[in-house]
Structure 1
Amino acid sequence: MSVTTIDLDDDALAKALRFSAGATKKDVVNTALREYAERHERAAQRARHMRAAQEWDYEGWQELHDAEKRGPE
């Protein structure tokens, strides 16, 4: 873990601490960073999925679905 000095918005930190059930400032900041990164990763995954889905058709999907249900051959 790295040590960094940053200026935090006191009001935002106070609000986050109220929701965190006794967590420390460090815990709140680390949780916020993880949630931020995870949210953006999910958004990127959805965007990749939507780009891929534009070329899907029902028959192709059904073939993939059936193959997944059968399992490895």
Structure 2
Amino acid sequence: MSMTWIDVDDEALAEAMRLMGARTEKETVNMALRDYVVRTKRLKAAGKLAARGARGEFDAAAEAHQAAKRARRAAFE
């Protein structure tokens, strides 16, 4: 782990510590950095998934699902 000296907003750090339940400033910063990385990766993946949907890549699967549902219903009629 590296040591870096930075100026941070004391009020924002204190609020982040409170919200995260962190015990130290170091823990708060590390938790925030890890959270940022995870959220950024999830947003990127969600964007890729949305783009696939916009291209219609899931239309065939949705139609197959609907057809299967119709077939199950018809079997009980």
Shift in alpha-carbon separation, 1:39–1:4, aligned structure 2, 3 A: same
Note the C-alpha offset of 1:60: 4.0
Q: Does 1:47 align with 2:47?
A: yes
Partner of 1:30: 30
Tell which structure's C-alpha radius of gyration is larger: 2
Percent identity for Structure 1 against Structure 2: 35
In the aligned structure 2, how far is the partner of 1:22 from the partner of 1:32?
10
TM, length-normalised to structure 1: 0.71
Contact 2:22–2:28 (Cα < 8 Å) also in 1: no
Task: Pick which of 30-39 and 15-24 moved more.
Answer: 15-24
Structure 1: which amino acid aligns with 2:47? A
1:24 Cα deviation (Å)?
0.7
Normalising by the residue count of structure 2, what TM-score does the alignment of the two structures yield? 0.68
User: Matched residues in 1 for 2:20 and 2:58: separation?
Assistant: 45
What root-mean-square deviation, in Å, do the aligned CA atoms of Structure 1 and Structure 2 show? Answer: 2.0
User: How far apart in 2 are the matches of 1:56 and 1:22?
Assistant: 43
Distance 1:51 1:15, change over 3 A: same
Residues 4-60 of structure 1: per-residue CA shift (max 9 Å, x gap): 111110000111122233511000000001111111111100111111222324334
1 or 2, which has the higher helix percentage?
Answer: 2
Q: Which has the higher contact order (CA 8 A, sep 6+)?
A: 1
Aligned length: 63
